[in-house]
Amino acid sequence: MNEATTARMTYLDALGLAQREEMARDDTVIIIGEDISLYAAGGAYGDIDAKRIRSAPISENGFAGMAIGAAITGLRPIVDLTIANFIYLASDPIINQAARLRYMTGGQVKVPVTYRASMWHNQGNAAQHSDRPYPMFMNIPGLKIVTPATPTDAKGLLKAAIRDDDPVLVFEDNDLWAVREPVPLDPDFVVPIGKAAVRREGRDVSIISVAGCLPHALAAATALAKDGISAEVVDLRTLLPLDTEAILNTVGKTGRVVIADYAHRTCGAAAEIAAIIVEDGFDLLKKPVRRVVTPDVPIPFSEAMEKPLYPSQDSIANAARSLM
């Protein structure tokens, strides 16, 4: 892309830009969350009427529900839940109301609300600040879930979420905040929800990457290339709905699959992806599906214990080699 239409920025700045653009574009977009008044005073939201920026008390259950009532009655709220673990306090209204009110009312209402949650890890924050809660929400019909892994997707998927007429959970990866790349400046640039991206073409093995695993998956593919193994890297980008076609396409191409995901193993995103491959693509497989995921232990504080638990370039590459 040429320089006039893009600007080099971080993942975190891309999220902020998406929010500012959508608030400027549409008067019905509001933001609600904790500690945001300071950012508003600092101009982080641009020249926006203060009544659209609600710095809330620490009442995640309450304001997550209020956002739903506001969405039903004509607004497009963005709820900034900050650290992803806090979504558990908000999960009752997200699950029991937002996800199913369209359905339960026979389509009388729409619920265009966006919930942002930032997933932290590798920073010694221990088990109450280090979760990746998206798998349990994949079990909730009526939601949409996006997991941007690049600055461009951070902007494009958050904007798509805000414009979407359904409740969308945006799980952002704190590890990627400082990653930079040229990001489109077109205020109408959006990344469609439900479409995976092939980040690297390959013939021998597919690495299906979930959320923030992408940099490790790409690094693993580079390392594998030195061994003469051609790895394809697919970034799912959306977890609900899953891009089943993209998953089966890459399996058809390589017949070998490694799924890389920071979430815990049991009933994780990787488990559902593996099940789809086994149900619909079993005949395409040359080897069993491999998962590279976080083991089922609470995330420990100590760096020495925390780091080895997560998928890495090496563990992903080694899993791929084991299939050759």
Partner 1 sequence: MSKHDVDGEAYLRMLKIRHFEQAVSALITEGAVAGACHSSIGQEAAIVGACMALRRDDYMSGTHRSHGHPIGKGAELNGLMAEILGKATGVCKGRGGSMHLTDTSVGSIGESAIVGGGISLATGAALSAQVRGTDQVALTFFGDGAVNEGAFHESLNMASIWKLPVIFFCENNGYAAVTPAATTHGQPDVSRRADGYGLPGVTVDGQDFDAVYSQTQKAVTRARDGGGPTLIEAKTYRFDEHCVGLFINGSYRSKEEVERYKTERDPIALFRARLLERGRSEADLINTQAEARRLVEAAVAFAKQSPCSDPESAFDLVHASQIPIRR
Residues of this chain that bind partner 1 (CB under 8 A): 28, 30, 51-52, 54, 56-57, 59, 61-75, 77, 92-93, 96-97, 101-110, 141-142, 144, 164-166, 194, 241, 244, 276
Active-site annotation holder among 121, 129, 216, 264: 129
The secondary element (H helix, E strand) that includes residue 318 is helix 313-322
Q: Which is nearer to partner 1, 104 or 324 (CB)?
A: 104
Q: Which is nearer to partner 1, 15 or 94 (CB)?
A: 94
Query: How many Å apart are CA 110 and CA 166, to the nearest integer?
Result: 7
Q: Which is nearer to partner 1, 63 or 120 (CB)?
A: 63
Q: How far is the CB of 168 from partner 1 (least distance, A)?
A: 10
CA quadruple 311, 313, 315, 321: dihedral positive or negative? positive
As a residue count, the chain comes to 324
Q: How far is the CB of 147 from partner 1 (least distance, A)?
A: 17
Q: Which two tokens stand for residue 144?
A: 């949409």
Q: How far is the CB of 25 from partner 1 (least distance, A)?
A: 16
Residue 15, Cα to own-chain centre: how many angstroms?
Answer: 12
Burial group, residue 215, by CB count within 10 angstroms (0-12, 13-18, 19+): middle
Q: How far is the CB of 42 from partner 1 (least distance, A)?
A: 22
Q: Which is nearer to partner 1, 116 or 199 (CB)?
A: 116
Q: How far is CA 134 from CA 8, 9, 80, 104, 263, in A?
A: 29, 26, 16, 23, 8
Active site residue 129: yes
Q: Which is nearer to partner 1, 72 or 213 (CB)?
A: 72
What angle, 0 to 180 degrees and rounded to 10, lies between the N-to-C axes of helices 244-254 and 269-281?
60
Q: Which is nearer to partner 1, 92 or 303 (CB)?
A: 92
- C-alpha radius of gyration, the chain, whole number: 20
Q: How far is the CB of 278 from partner 1 (least distance, A)?
A: 13
**Three-state secondary-structure class, residue 282:** helix
Q: Which two tokens stand for residue 27?
A: 């008067």
Query: How many Å apart are CA 275 and CA 210, to the nearest integer?
Result: 15
Q: How far is the CB of 149 from partner 1 (least distance, A)?
A: 22
Q: Which two tokens stand for residue 269?
A: 């995103």
Query: How many Å apart are CA 64 and CA 46, to the nearest integer?
Result: 24
Q: How far is the CB of 60 from partner 1 (least distance, A)?
A: 9
Q: Which is nearer to partner 1, 42 or 106 (CB)?
A: 106
Cα distance from N-terminal residue to C-terminal residue, the chain: 37
Q: How far is CA 254 from CA 18, 199, 208, 302, in A?
A: 36, 15, 12, 39
Q: Catalogue the active-site residues.
A: 129
